[in-house]
Structure 1
């Protein structure tokens, strides 16, 4: 291909060879602030609160804090700070601290919060013996110790749940003027390496503001495990870091990233959860700069934890953590949730839940770098139909463009994009095309010309347009912090500005860490300059933000502008679908995410589960991995198992590298193709179940994909299980992620409450009792439905989800020990915002031994669906009824039933109940 030479140059620039080259990425010792702060371990904090000047107004406490010289007898004040503690709704508190009259304002993270947090009341409870106690409207207390500064947050039982600065590692590096000296009759600035600049490999970071790092230690008494701070490739439960590298949060394009690593990769979401049998709590570190996080779990048996156990008598469970960021404000949210669900809701209340996605986006996606031309796209599309495999979306990678110029088409390979799109949409299918943030520097390219003329590019340290190297070659990067740039970029998505697109063409924002092949750590230099709104007459450092301040938010700025452009192109009528690689807090409000450039290896398949679970806990439920692996070629068994796993993960897309052997499902031998078909069809049968889960996520902010401990918080064996997960609270999934196995160990939680789990294939009941051995052949996907739930299915799988919109439902009722069950279902048009005008159905289905009732949760809403109930499967029935009768819209109809005695399953055949209206099926015995 004509781009292959450039491609290979780019790949070599990143890696030098296959596999991650760690030399391209910093360790903590090579990151100046991390090395500096990690060594900062004073015996006593040098921060002291002045209780004489405390002020409390509504929900906000203000207090003066002095940083003192602990070596002087008089404790000389070195720097002055202001501490703010605010009470927010949902038992959340916010802690902020910054300098009094700083040399210049510190950067405040811009986009993570959905809205201004909602205030609660804060009142003083007591002030004595060097401690000030305040409480919110629920009576949750915060204890502030003056000397040295320590902040304790108490749970509803009055026990300490979270402690800030217990280990005296809070630090806000003071902003200082650069020293000057006389040299040769001139006054010159002092070049102090580390304070005003540092090097990594051949790159120099000028650090014009000097050191401005912040640090805070956070302790979690009674915690067994901590989770969160994605994106990393190790387990869901975070490990102690004292004997190695801290977890790093810095969005990077890591070519062929490695497994079981704390290295930074594409996403950085600084939220941490601590869980134990007593409670779940969370901390959100509101900062978009490079961040490192240390973790110590005292149960791990490390040297440090052993010493602490010796001090505490060895009887206290505890986890401590420490956040260290290069710049920004010390701004921390403490979430005293009580239960896991409480804390997850608190976080999404701050940063937002994912909005209801278009329904097609929950179906199957087929991608490759690259489908080479229109004939290739047509052939792939037709082969899905020929082989009776459902698919909703075909994707185009960078080669569809005119020589890597975004918002254009290759005139030779894709001369008729509108016709190509129309051929797909005639079958209910969609197209996704890629738009990366780098812009090719080519004369005559309209985006480059406009950006150059209008000053829309990110600037280098000298104020000139920054030039880096990416897929097009010499490239510059749009500065989305400038509202005018974001508006310009959004307007490129209008149909008249992007010919060939329609409402059925959606967007993939890749490489948006941002990736810069010749930059430090394959990204943008930290001393590049971004737009900053400032008053007229401002000079120097007051006129721009550095890239170091906003790095982890850069991709979020891009996808926000993409989202706005896709809304505007249809005047706000249709829901956009966007996929992003870069992720930060708040990303979920605009886009789905995937786990990046994985490989066709069993380890990457296994890692996809904890990686997506971790992202889901951090607000990003819409997650998946490249099915089959991006690099290398998956042999039939691996491909089969990956399709089976992907069918039960929120984002379900097959994708592969340009140099890999083609591996569309029909290119395998017929037996494997049949298994891949079966996995896809399983996904489509559950699409309405998925759609309901995402609607409920948009309502309440809870993860769609959940760790077992979310629903079983006191069941300690679940705390470290990350090969098994729940979809909602209805389905338990244990993917097969190892080669050649004939059985897998499956943990079924809920023994104490007598929970029963039903195999979705056989309806065989399994009483929860911890682990059991599940036999698996190559066709078996271990999935279980919880007793007490009802799951909607559509068994008439068609070529795309749009063609199934009005098809009939099968309702699978799994009975609990009380012979009851309940479920929900959500129905709308699948693509517009008409649901916000009450054009939808959100219904509850309940089962008792007397009846099955279908009723609307929101009685003001309605939708003219033509769907009806084709079948009701009731699993676990011990005493079957003799007769059943449907009542709907004043009519009463006798129904037929079939009993399968071997597995206690009763099937109500063709009840014919319309889903557009409430109905009841009554039983007699």
Structure 2
């Protein structure tokens, strides 16, 4: 079979036999007699890098994706020279490199196969551009599943799919359409209930094929650059995702307000319209924290300017909005209008900061302002300049967030929708063409924006959102999934995209609620808001060209549903903030697909709809019109129906009936869910009281609550509170033990505790081993209020 495949790929070249090797510290180089070098680097016992070159030497080792602040280290690295292969052993796996053709196999220490090369590394000379098209093929096993690769608009399990990675402005994209806005060349393989990961760190146009072209083969290749990939051993999917997230980096903690609801449209102007929208939110008491200004706030779409006809005094407007609890977020695109009277253009021209074609002239393209030049964000000097441009917007006018759009980069009126491939880039001193820089252009723009917003927002935390991204962009920015459509199919797509992005290291992501293109029905908007409040980034956004898309545009019933679910999100802010803390510190995704939650259950491997929000809330959206409920799958464990408090056992499919103002929501047995009182915006209540909803369980369960000052950097000095609550349920009693880390003290007057699912009548309460009266804790219907913090709460009954 292999011989036939080789004959079918007559243009492909392969490594020949290995003639020598060299071992230095954590790396082993293998040399073949046809000039191929394979470098195997053990970063951790479960994280191994494979780097190939076919030219006899390696180019400068540089990556925008890898987080250089992460430390690596391994326990074991042994190399053995066997008769027909070399073996590299760590404390988790061993790697076999065949001497006759450099093919690689990776095995568990007991000999169980994890991943084996089919053809392995091969390449094809690219005579059109120079360099090689680099290729890798692996054996794909029967029943193996594949997940990840960012915001692909296709089935969650990628088995049988082929996808393309080339950041593209894909307005009104369709299901299965390729490529899209983001490039995350990382996937998780799952076979025999064991998971591994592959991160192909190559910024050229690349492809992944999961047994689409050839059954039993998974392959990935790129139009240039190196065959450079990282293998991550699980065996749990959670281990793979966490290791990848550490490798490519985690964001800093965002300000709490960014987890509130946000409203956007193309476009809200003039100032009177902006204030009309924000006023309506307050009038209807639908909580909202941010209002967005799209391109029309600018003077002729020139970045870093204001249209004074629409916004005569932006500083005053931003201040007025802030007094009413609204943060202002503005859009900034990469295209700089060619206009010799325009100060940003003049500065960039004088400093020679624009991208150039291969033969010298500045690259010119049409976007919203007309003809534009484009800064080369791969140049550190340009990023520093760009960061400085945010001084007026952020430090003087008071804008709280910046939204980077069109940064694939998008160019109008050309078939490719982007820069010519011959455009030159600095690439941090590793000069290259746009073929290599295209996929990271948006990330480097977002990075420069982040550095500017952070500089001028200090001592507050920055907020940046981007449309285009490459692996590692999560260190600088949140994201959204681009220009979707107001259809039921796109509601299904959005749900999958959020789960996929979450296990692809980019947790802080959302979709345009209601759809960007076209107009949703009232029912579709309601169902989308019911899902969107359980996504990390929560924003309604529309093109505005087909009608209004504010919550009140759809009638009284949808107003009430929107209010109900947005209020629920605001109540769950401490739970969501805790999810974010665990993501930032431990690399744990905020949304967990069912297969991530329980990979041993084969039923989860092809589930697309249900997901775990945080650790203990199971969400299943309604994705079809006229639904009065739906069939869904409950994973392992026992779960409380959030609306009825009915306890249901898991690992089965069931029908869940819901009203129009509900979706299936379940709480894990034993969970302690923290809630704040409803606020119209974060900070409206200076010290919101904490409520703990306790779901009874016979046995033990841990829950967590993270809190700090909600903005600023004091948490880096230990001024935070991270509480671990351990619930121990017995036949007629419940113990809740609390352990706290950090020095932050919240000024609660009371902590409210609401017990759910108890199978006994409460007859006594002890706080820190002292019995208390029901009157002193306002005990009513299994709820009580405690006027001080506690280490142990003991509730017993009969």
Q: What TM-score results when the alignment is normalised by the length of structure 1?
A: 0.82
Does the Cα contact within 8 Å between 2:269 and 2:310 map onto a contact in 1?
yes
Q: Is the counterpart of residue 912 in structure 1 residue 795 in structure 2?
A: no
Does the Cα contact within 8 Å between 2:12 and 2:123 map onto a contact in 1?
no
Post-superposition shift, 1:148? 2.0
Match of 1:619, SS state, is coil
Does the Cα contact within 8 Å between 2:592 and 2:614 map onto a contact in 1?
yes
CA–CA distance in 2 between the matches of 1:601 and 1:139?
A: 46
Q: Is the counterpart of residue 648 in structure 1 residue 534 in structure 2?
A: yes
CA–CA distance in 1 between the matches of 2:157 and 2:710?
A: 36
Post-superposition shift, 1:460? 1.0
Deviations 1:140-187, CA, capped at 9 Å, x for gaps: 2111111122111112432110123x235x22445xxxxxxxxxxxxx
Which residue of 156, 160, 166 corresponds with 1:250?
Answer: 166
Which residue of 40, 57, 61 corresponds with 1:85?
Answer: 40
Which residue of 236, 240, 260 corresponds with 2:176?
Answer: 260
CA–CA distance in 2 between the matches of 1:38 and 1:486?
A: 46
Q: Which residue of 1 aligns with 2:324?
A: 427
Unaligned runs of 5+ residues in structure 1 are 1-36, 68-79, 175-193, 197-206, 309-319, 535-542, 901-905
Which residue of 631, 655, 659 corresponds with 1:777?
Answer: 659
Q: Is the counterpart of residue 134 in structure 1 residue 88 in structure 2?
A: yes
Post-superposition shift, 1:211? 4.4
CA–CA distance in 1 between the matches of 2:771 and 2:6?
A: 73
Q: Which residue of 1 aligns with 2:674?
A: 792
CA–CA distance in 2 between the matches of 1:622 and 1:116?
A: 20
CA–CA distance in 1 between the matches of 2:325 and 2:756?
A: 34
Does the Cα contact within 8 Å between 1:276 and 1:714 map onto a contact in 2?
no
Does the Cα contact within 8 Å between 2:87 and 2:95 map onto a contact in 1?
yes
CA–CA distance in 2 between the matches of 1:558 and 1:486?
A: 7
Q: Is the counterpart of residue 63 in structure 1 residue 42 in structure 2?
A: no
Q: Is the counterpart of residue 803 in structure 1 residue 718 in structure 2?
A: no
Q: Is the counterpart of residue 883 in structure 1 residue 755 in structure 2?
A: no
Match of 1:842, SS state, is strand
Post-superposition shift, 1:582? 0.2
Does the Cα contact within 8 Å between 1:707 and 1:726 map onto a contact in 2?
yes
Q: Is the counterpart of residue 523 in structure 1 residue 418 in structure 2?
A: yes
Post-superposition shift, 1:357? 1.3
CA–CA distance in 2 between the matches of 1:584 and 1:895?
A: 58
Post-superposition shift, 1:677? 1.1
Q: Which residue of 2 aligns with 1:546?
A: 433
Larger Rg belongs to: 1
CA–CA distance in 1 between the matches of 2:654 and 2:727?
A: 29
Does the Cα contact within 8 Å between 1:756 and 1:817 map onto a contact in 2?
no
Aligned pairs for 1:201-280 within 5 A = 207=129, 210-221=130-141, 224-241=144-161, 246-261=162-177, 263-280=178-195
Q: Is the counterpart of residue 568 in structure 1 residue 568 in structure 2?
A: no
Does the Cα contact within 8 Å between 1:851 and 1:920 map onto a contact in 2?
no
Which residue of 393, 414, 419 corresponds with 2:311?
Answer: 414
Post-superposition shift, 1:760? 1.2
Q: Which residue of 1 aligns with 2:444?
A: 557
Deviations 1:529-557, CA, capped at 9 Å, x for gaps: 112566xxxxxxxx831010111111111
Which residue of 688, 693, 696 corresponds with 2:579?
Answer: 693
Q: Which residue of 1 aligns with 2:127?
A: 195
Deviations 1:255-301, CA, capped at 9 Å, x for gaps: 2111133x10100100011113431000000111110111117xxxx
Post-superposition shift, 1:421? 1.1
Deviations 1:218-271, CA, capped at 9 Å, x for gaps: 335576210112232111100314xxxx3100000012111133x101001000
Post-superposition shift, 1:880? 3.5
Does the Cα contact within 8 Å between 1:807 and 1:868 map onto a contact in 2?
no
Aligned pairs for 1:148-167 within 5 A = 148-164=101-117, 166-167=118-119
Q: Which residue of 1 aligns with 2:74?
A: 120
CA–CA distance in 2 between the matches of 1:567 and 1:532?
A: 23
CA–CA distance in 1 between the matches of 2:7 and 2:397?
A: 54
CA 1:466–1:875 in structure 2 vs 1: closer, same or farther (change >3 Å)?
same
Q: Aligned residues, how many?
A: 790
Q: Which residue of 1 aligns with 2:498?
A: 612
CA 1:453–1:214 in structure 2 vs 1: closer, same or farther (change >3 Å)?
same
Does the Cα contact within 8 Å between 1:86 and 1:122 map onto a contact in 2?
no
Post-superposition shift, 1:429? 2.2
Match of 2:625, SS state, is coil
Deviations 1:474-519, CA, capped at 9 Å, x for gaps: 0111001111111000001124x767532x5210001110001134
CA–CA distance in 1 between the matches of 2:633 and 2:428?
A: 54
Post-superposition shift, 1:81? 2.1
Q: Which residue of 2 aligns with 1:835?
A: 715
CA–CA distance in 2 between the matches of 1:871 and 1:90?
A: 46
Which residue of 298, 308, 312 corresponds with 1:401?
Answer: 298
CA–CA distance in 1 between the matches of 2:596 and 2:557?
A: 38
CA–CA distance in 2 between the matches of 1:895 and 1:782?
A: 36
Aligned pairs for 1:453-472 within 5 A = 453-472=350-369
CA 1:869–1:160 in structure 2 vs 1: closer, same or farther (change >3 Å)?
farther
CA 1:573–1:223 in structure 2 vs 1: closer, same or farther (change >3 Å)?
farther
Post-superposition shift, 1:346? 1.0
CA 1:44–1:602 in structure 2 vs 1: closer, same or farther (change >3 Å)?
closer
Match of 1:47, SS state, is coil
Post-superposition shift, 1:358? 1.1
Does the Cα contact within 8 Å between 1:805 and 1:867 map onto a contact in 2?
no
CA 1:481–1:513 in structure 2 vs 1: closer, same or farther (change >3 Å)?
same
Q: Which residue of 2 aligns with 1:663?
A: 549
Over aligned residues, Cα RMSD in angstroms? 2.5
Match of 1:621, SS state, is coil
Q: Which residue of 1 aligns with 2:738?
A: 855
CA 1:117–1:547 in structure 2 vs 1: closer, same or farther (change >3 Å)?
farther
CA–CA distance in 2 between the matches of 1:38 and 1:899?
A: 76
